[in-house]
Amino acid sequence: MKTCKKCRNSYDDSFKFCPNCGSSKVLSSDDIAKGKAGKEIAESIVKQRKKRQLIMVVTGVIAVIVFIVVIASISSAANKPVAKYDGISQKEFNAENKEYLKDGKENLKDNDYEDAIEELGKVDNQYKGYGEAQNLLEDAVDGYVDEIIDEANNYIDNKQYEKALDVINEAKLSVGDEKSIKKAMDNIIDEFREDYLSRAEELETSGKFEDGIRLLKNVNSIFTDDVIIQNKIYEMTNKYKSKFIDKADEYVANNDDTDDINIIES
């Protein structure tokens, strides 16, 4: 079979001319091979083009979906009631926070720091006056801390250390581990420790070891295992033991009756 090079019509080898178009030119084996290769390349190009088109379509669909989701989220957030005051209108929300801010200002003006801290702390961070409330809250905390420290120092001056600690611990419930509060607590503990160590040493000097040790153990229970106090208790206990051992040795040296060694147990 021959294939016409002009019209690609196939006809019998006995014909010299193409019965379809009359051309005498036929496709050679090389022409046919090139044609097949070209067809394969063309088909590959078409496939790649369709693949790119599919990717573009899928990407476009995803982009549209993402856009819709974002718009829906923004719209939902805009229409959703304020989380902290869910179920009330914006007008009610503003009125409520305005009242908190107003009460906080009045309390601060009257130096009623605790109430000021409570009211100003209620102002929601989505309220327009939140920044002002935070600034006033800082002033209220500073005033409250100064007031508490003055009260604690008065107790320290009167050597009422436990009351001073109670005042500071109560303040920590309101303002947490604020730097000034922590410093005041450390100062009370130092004063407390120094005073009671001095008392214990006076008792030790006068030979009243038991009283001195008992005093320090009481302080240690308040401080929750203070290392300095514990070391002093250990030191005084050893001195207390040595005192009786020396006394027993002296007694034994002066008396042959070793039964009197029971002095140690007394």
User: Mind listing the pLDDT tens digit of every residue in the chain (266 residues)?
Assistant: 777 766 667 767 777 777 777 777 766 665 555 455 444 544 554 566 676 677 777 777 787 787 787 676 665 555 554 445 567 788 899 999 999 999 999 999 999 988 988 899 999 998 999 999 999 988 988 888 888 889 888 988 888 888 888 888 888 777 777 788 888 888 888 888 888 899 889 988 888 888 988 888 888 887 777 888 889 888 889 888 887 776 666 666 666 555 544 544 44
pTM for this model (two decimals): 0.50
CA angle 242, 246, 251 (to 5 degrees): 145
Six-digit token string for 249: 């040795």
Cα 200 to Cα 216: distance, rounded to the nearest angstrom: 7
Q: What radius of gyration, in Å, describes the C-alpha atoms of the chain?
A: 48
The answer to whether 189 touches 156, Cβ cutoff 8 Å, is no
Residue 95 burial by Cβ neighbours in a 10 Å radius (0-12, 13-18, 19+): exposed
Phi, psi of 18 (to 5 degrees): -70, 120
Residue 94 burial by Cβ neighbours in a 10 Å radius (0-12, 13-18, 19+): middle
